[in-house]
């Protein structure tokens, strides 16, 4: 027994020695971050990060513009500084944060403003050069060069395999360049009104060296031209109007999007970001694991992210200042992934896996619904008729009930009894709570204004000539004219009776004209000339206001009318005549609808008919009709003009005696004139008001 215990002790010692050796070996292979030194030289800030052992390759890094910071991730590395932060205050470099998670350490450089960086390895040190924004010339400002991706050594010759152009869902032009190798260097710059993309040491086949006219796609891009030049390939993109570009690279595909810009004078910065609203970030990863990349995005956003075990593979991704949700969308599109979001938790898995899981969940819920016991619940309707709700429930096209559910209606009590599974009863309860509400009232007031301005001027003349004989009684000395008793009997007759030599008096439309009469006699009073001038000038203004108003419920048509019915005769089928009536009314027909933003949409039919007795005939009385039918959208309490008719009648009439009416100076004695200038205007105003729900009549 003692011998067995000795054997066990020896075996335990051997195991402890082996474990200690393995642990010591792990400690020896594990790297450590030992120092961070910062030196500023002109506009460049040099950061020297010292490690215990040399790094095998440049670490993955990404930058964020708001807040400005640059992050580096070191695998199999621990924090050997003994502190988690360090302040520098050198130029635009504020401080650094060191975060360790298991065997991984992240170095975060906090900046005052966004900066570009260059990283290189020097023994046990990582050298980081931060470049500040320096003054540039006007020419450089007009054509800045964006070093999208640096060229990396490659064993194969890089060639453009295909160039495609498509229109995006938001009207953007999307250019996709398919490369044989993802290590190509790409530079983007704006040159005048064009966008130039240079591919460093990249060949273009003869079939792709051409100009593509893409005007018919209705995007901001007019054309793109690809050529071969010294040092690589060049693509020249010619846009139109206001535009902005966005570029990204995923593995061997380089994509550049040209988006239109809709100017808004109220915006301080013009531009559009499409449907992505996340905080912008920059990513530069070469052949990195997808799960690792998703972890970086999850840590950046602070979202809880659950990644399925079936997610795997590697991806090359170069993104500069793109929203994080767009970056996540690009990754999922390239790897055929999909996500489901629940609160602040995101589940990411292959698209087929999620679809299969959801299908199984739905089938399970359906099976449970077929076996779940039924319950009965009564619903009391307060403002809506139960019959209307019952029609909604039993409608086969949009039924809320399950295939085992049923609904009964009681018109007397305005109640409805529903029998179904509990979750369907919850849906019915929620639906009734939304539709069983008091209808809002709307007061609609219409004002029909008819304004008239009339002017008339009439001028006419009557001219007559007469003659008679004169006899004098020697005894009495009384002079007598023929057909007259005394001389006084031949006083001027302004009515021109018995003369009628010229009869062109003024003929006004209404009223009577004023007259001025003169008579001229010879010295013997036997011949005389009578002149009568008639004239009238009338100026009138009038206004008729009709104001029908009606109150109705929301989405309920209302009619109000006032007027007379004019009888007229009509023939019957038997050949006899009967009396029928024609309405000549002022009517307002309206159907309002209150929109969710508080405005009022109305279907209006306004009619104003009046009898015209001046146009009465044997067949009946004529009716003047004024009618408008339209649909308008008005603010609550606002007034809108829905119709207007303006008419003007100008007439100048002259009646004259030929030849004599054209004589100078005296031609007016042989003609009459009539001038008419009538103006009428019809305006219809409508003012809707939503009646307050708290309004009460006492």
Secondary structure (H, E, C), 57-88: CCCCEEEECCCCEEEEEEECEEECCCCCEEEE
CA distances from 99 to 47, 57, 71, 106, 445 (A): 18, 20, 11, 5, 70
Per-residue pLDDT, averaged over 162-178, amounts to: 90
The mean pLDDT of the chain is: 80
> What local confidence, expressed as pLDDT, does residue 176 receive?
93
* Phi, psi for residue 85 in degrees, rounded to 5: -150, 160
> What local confidence, expressed as pLDDT, does residue 672 receive?
84
Q: What is the pLDDT of residues 626-657, one digit of tens each?
A: 888 899 999 998 998 887 788 888 989 888 88
Per-residue pLDDT, averaged over 372-400, amounts to: 84
**Which has more confidence, 522 or 679?**
679
DSSP class of residue 351 equals H
Per-residue buried b or exposed e for 481-499, using 16+ beta carbons within 10 Å of the residue's own CB:
beeeeeeeebebbbebeeb
- Residue 64 above 90 pLDDT? no
Listed residue (114, 146, 118) closest to 132, CA to CA = 114
Give the burial class of 530: count Cβ atoms within 10 A of its Cβ; 0-12 exposed, 13-18 middle, 19 or more buried. Answer: buried
> What local confidence, expressed as pLDDT, does residue 87 receive?
86
> What local confidence, expressed as pLDDT, does residue 163 receive?
92
Element (H, E) at 524: none
- Residue 466 above 60 pLDDT? yes
Q: Quickly state the pLDDT bin for 489 (edges 50, 70, 90).
A: very low
Range from 135-149, 526-540, 652-666 that averages highest in pLDDT: 652-666
> What local confidence, expressed as pLDDT, does residue 591 receive?
92
Q: What is the CA radius of gyration of the chain?
A: 49
Q: Enter the tokens of residue 400.
A: 């809320």
Cα separation, 324 vs 342, in Å, equals 18
Q: Quickly state the pLDDT bin for 4 (edges 50, 70, 90).
A: low
Placement of tokens 């099976």 in the chain: 367
**Which has more confidence, 632 or 152?**
632
Cα separation, 96 vs 143, in Å, equals 34
Cα separation, 603 vs 596, in Å, equals 17
Contacts of 2 (CB under 8 A, 6+ apart): none
Sign of the Cα torsion 268, 270, 273, 274 reads: positive
Contacts of 684 (CB under 8 A, 6+ apart): 446, 447, 448, 449, 606, 628, 641, 642, 643, 644
> What local confidence, expressed as pLDDT, does residue 23 receive?
45
pTM of the shown model: 0.43
**Which has more confidence, 487 or 361?**
361
**Which has more confidence, 526 or 177?**
177
Instruction: Dump the DSSP string for 209-244.
Output: -SEEE-GGG-SSEEEEEEEEETTEEEEEEEE-SSEE
> What local confidence, expressed as pLDDT, does residue 227 receive?
92
Name all contacts of 220-227 with Cβ < 8 Å and 24+ positions apart.
220/171, 220/172, 220/173, 220/258, 220/259, 220/260, 221/165, 221/173, 221/175, 221/258, 224/163, 224/165, 224/175, 226/160, 226/163
Q: Quickly state the pLDDT bin for 696 (edges 50, 70, 90).
A: very low
Q: What percent of the chain has pLDDT over 90?
A: 10
Q: What is the pLDDT of residues 263-289, one digit of tens each?
A: 544 332 344 444 677 777 888 888 888
**Which has more confidence, 15 or 537?**
537
Contacts of 602 (CB under 8 A, 6+ apart): 444, 590, 591, 592, 593, 631, 632, 633, 634, 686, 688
Cα separation, 184 vs 199, in Å, equals 7
Q: What is the pLDDT of residues 541-580, one digit of tens each?
A: 888 788 888 999 888 899 988 888 888 777 777 777 788 8
> What local confidence, expressed as pLDDT, does residue 476 receive?
66
> What local confidence, expressed as pLDDT, does residue 224 receive?
92
> What local confidence, expressed as pLDDT, does residue 653 receive?
87
**Which has more confidence, 427 or 507?**
427
CA distances from 536 to 20, 275, 515, 539 (A): 130, 75, 9, 10
CA distances from 594 to 194, 415, 602, 690 (A): 49, 28, 9, 8
**Which has more confidence, 266 or 388?**
388
> What local confidence, expressed as pLDDT, does residue 495 receive?
43
Q: Quickly state the pLDDT bin for 181 (edges 50, 70, 90).
A: confident
By the 8 A CB rule, do 609 and 623 touch? Answer: yes
Angle of helix 290-301 versus helix 324-334 axis, rounded to 10: 160
- Residue 497 above 50 pLDDT? no
By the 8 A CB rule, do 33 and 105 touch? Answer: yes
Max CA distance (Å), the chain = 201
> What local confidence, expressed as pLDDT, does residue 457 receive?
86
Q: Enter the tokens of residue 526.
A: 């036997």
- Residue 695 above 60 pLDDT? no
Q: Enter the tokens of residue 338.
A: 């999909």
Q: What percent of the chain has pLDDT over 70?
A: 82
> What local confidence, expressed as pLDDT, does residue 403 receive?
80
Half-sphere exposure of 359 (CA within 13 A, CB side): 6
> What local confidence, expressed as pLDDT, does residue 173 receive?
92
Cα separation, 185 vs 284, in Å, equals 13
């Amino acid at each position: 027994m003692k011998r067995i215990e000795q054997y066990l002790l020896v075996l335990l010692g051997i195991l402890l020695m082996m474990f200690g050796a393995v642990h010591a070996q792990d400690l020896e292979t594990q790297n450590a971050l030992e120092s961070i030194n910062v030196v500023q030289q002109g506009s460049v800030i040099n950061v020297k990060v010292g490690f215990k052992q040399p790094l095998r390759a440049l670490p993955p890094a990404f930058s964020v513009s708001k807040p400005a910071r640059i992050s580096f991730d070191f695998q199999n590395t621990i924090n050997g500084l003994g502190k988690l932060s360090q302040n520098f205050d050198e130029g635009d470099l504020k401080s650094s944060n060191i975060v360790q998670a298991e065997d991984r350490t992240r170095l975060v450089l906090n900046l005052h403003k966004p900066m570009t960086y260059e990283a290189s390895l020097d023994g046990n040190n990582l050298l980081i050069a931060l470049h500040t924004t320096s003054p540039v010339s006007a020419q450089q400002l007009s054509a800045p060069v964006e070093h999208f991706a640096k060229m990396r050594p490659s064993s194969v010759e890089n060639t453009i395999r295909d160039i495609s152009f498509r229109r995006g869902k938001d009207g953007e032009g999307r250019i996709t360049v398919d490369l044989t190798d993802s290590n190509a260097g790409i530079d983007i710059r704006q040159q005048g009104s064009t966008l130039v993309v240079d591919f460093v040491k990249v060949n273009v086949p003869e079939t792709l060296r051409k100009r593509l006219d893409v005007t018919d796609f209705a995007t901001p891009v007019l054309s793109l031209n690809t050529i071969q030049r010294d040092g690589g390939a060049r693509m020249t993109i010619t846009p139109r109007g206001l535009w902005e570009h966005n570029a990204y690279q995923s593995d061997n595909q380089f994509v550049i999007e040209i988006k239109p810009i809709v100017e808004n004078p109220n915006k301080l910065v013009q531009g559009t970001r499409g449907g992505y609203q996340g905080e912008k970030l920059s990513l530069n990863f070469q052949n990195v694991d997808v799960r690792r990349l998703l972890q970086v995005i999850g840590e950046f956003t602070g979202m809880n992210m659950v990644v399925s075990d079936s997610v795997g593979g590697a991806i090359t991704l170069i993104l500069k200042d793109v929203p994080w949700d767009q970056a996540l969308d690009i990754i999922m599109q390239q790897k055929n992934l999909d996500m489901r979001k629940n609160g602040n938790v995101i589940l990411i898995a292959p698209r087929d896996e999620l679809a299969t899981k959801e299908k199984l969940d739905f089938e399970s819920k359906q099976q449970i619904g077929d076996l779940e016991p039924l319950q009965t619940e009564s619903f009391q309707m307060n403002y809506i008729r139960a019959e209307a709700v019952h029609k909604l429930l039993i409608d086969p096209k949009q039924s809320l009930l399950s295939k085992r559910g049923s609904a009964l209606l009681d018109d007397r009590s305005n109640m409805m009894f529903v029998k179904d599974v509990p979750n369907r009863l919850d849906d019915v309860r929620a639906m009734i709570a939304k539709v069983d509400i008091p209808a809002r009232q709307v007061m609609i007031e219409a004002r029909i204004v008819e304004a008239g301005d009339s002017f008339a001027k009439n001028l006419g003349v009557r001219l007559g000539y007469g003659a008679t004989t004169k006899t004098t009684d020697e005894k009495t000395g009384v002079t007598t004219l023929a057909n007259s008793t005394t001389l006084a009997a031949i006083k001027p007759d302004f009515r021109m009776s018995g003369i009628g030599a010229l009869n062109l008096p003024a003929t006004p439309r209404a009223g009577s004209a004023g007259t001025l009469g003169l008579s001229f006699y010879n010295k013997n009073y036997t011949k005389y000339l009578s002149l009568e001038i008639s004239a009238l000038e009338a100026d009138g203004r009038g206004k008729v206001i009709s104001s029908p108003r009606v109150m109705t419920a929301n989405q309920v048509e209302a009619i109000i009318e006032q007027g007379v019915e004019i009888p007229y005769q009509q023939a019957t089928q038997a050949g006899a005549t009967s009396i029928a009536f024609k309405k000549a009314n002022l009517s307002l027909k309206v159907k309002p609808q209150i929109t969710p933003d508080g405005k009022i949409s109305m279907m209006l039919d306004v009619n104003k008919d009046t009898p015209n007795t001046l146009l009465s005939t044997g067949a009946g009385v004529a009716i003047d009709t004024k009618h408008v039918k339209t649909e308008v959208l008005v603010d609550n309490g606002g007034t809108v003009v829905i119709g207007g008719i303006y008419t003007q009648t100008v007439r100048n009439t002259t009646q004259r005696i030929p030849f004599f009416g054209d004589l100078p100076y005296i031609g007016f004695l042989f003609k009459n004139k009539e001038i008419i200038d009538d103006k009428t205007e019809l305006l219809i105003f409508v003012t809707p008001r939503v009646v307050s729900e708290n309004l009460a009549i006492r």
